[in-house]
Amino acid sequence: MNFIAATVELRTHSTDSVSAYGLDYRVADAVVPASSGSNEVRLRLLCYNREGAKLSAFTNWKEGKRALITGNVVFSDDASQPLDLIVSTIEPNIPQDMYCNQVVLGNAFFGSDEIKERKNGQLAVKIGTTLDNSDVTTWLFLETHESRKSKLNDRIRKGRPICVQGYFREYRKEGDTSPYRAIVASDFSTRKEQPRTNKNPQTNGSAAGYAEPDPTPDY
């Protein structure tokens, strides 16, 4: 599971519901704001289509306004598409200059043994993420400060599972259809591979004020 808590700016609402991951959702296009449009993280927000406080807040959210969203991020094998964010909670009553972009990437693995050094002093390593019931892998970069080079050298091994805490960063060059996508890590940990299990299925939308949790998406 990949968790995000972020201040998100609404661009457009869809008037229709869509079927995704085995459930029915209301949809909106949004971004995690940045200093320029080329650096915004683009999102497709999916809010479970059931009457209640969460859906009401979602559908009454005004275009151009920010809200604090928590939920699960689902990657696509098409990097040109926005990230899917399945909404767990939404809080629209926030200061409009508030900024938050915190991510925990829980099902990633090293895609390479090579550590690259960026001009800005950041280290970059290719990582992948694969959903529990899919063979499709999405690739992005882990970026971290050079002060973590020793830890990275000790832990890196192609295919080794890794959990990353940080924030999403995207950059789009003019004319490119797909962004450069990275998670800028404040910390990371490695773990032994564990057999996949469905003993503890995840639920969404159980924050205070929501009558009942959403069904578990099939991803």
pLDDT on residue 204: 55
Going along the chain from its start, the domains and CATH numbers come out as 2-100 (2.40.50.140), 103-190 (2.40.50.140)
* DSSP character string of the chain: -EEEEEEEEEEEEEEEEEEETTEEEEEEEEEE--SSGGG-EEEEEEEE--SSHHHHHHHTPPTT-EEEEEEEEE--S-TTSPEEEEEEEEE--S-TT---EEEEEEEEEE--S--EE-TTSEEEEEEEEE-TT---EEEEEEEEEGGGHHHHHHH--TT-EEEEEEEEEEE--TT-SS-EEEEEEEEEEE--------SS---B--STT-SSPBPPP--
How many other C-beta atoms can be found within 10 angstroms of the C-beta atom of residue 110?
Answer: 21
The answer, yes or no, to whether residue 194 has pLDDT greater than 70, is: no
pLDDT on residue 79: 82
Q: What is the β-pairing status of strands 180-190 and 137-145?
A: parallel
Mean pLDDT value of segment 95-111: 94
**Beta bridge partner(s), residue 18:** 25
* pLDDT digits 0-9 by tens, 26-46: 999 999 998 777 789 999 999
* pLDDT digits 0-9 by tens, 76-95: 878 889 999 999 999 999 99
Specify the higher pLDDT residue, 72 or 78: 72
Q: What is the β-pairing status of strands 66-74 and 2-20?
A: antiparallel
Question: Exposed, middle or buried by CB within 10 Å (0-12, 13-18, 19+), for 141?
Answer: buried
pLDDT confidence of 208, banded at 50, 70, 90?
Answer: very low
Give the number of C-alpha atoms closer than 13 A to the C-alpha of residue 169, restricted to the C-beta side. Answer: 15
pLDDT on residue 137: 85
> Could you tell me if 17 and 49 are in contact, meaning their C-beta atoms sit under 8 angstroms apart?
yes
Gap between the Cα atoms of 58 and 63, Å rounded? 11
pLDDT confidence of 212, banded at 50, 70, 90?
Answer: confident
Return the top range by mean pLDDT from 29-38, 91-100, 133-142, 173-182: 91-100
The answer, yes or no, to whether residue 134 has pLDDT greater than 70, is: no
The answer, yes or no, to whether residue 145 has pLDDT greater than 50, is: yes
Give how far the C-alpha of residue 205 lies from the chain's centroid of Cα atoms, to the nearest Å: 16
pTM (two decimals): 0.85
pLDDT confidence of 168, banded at 50, 70, 90?
Answer: very high
The answer, yes or no, to whether residue 132 has pLDDT greater than 80, is: no
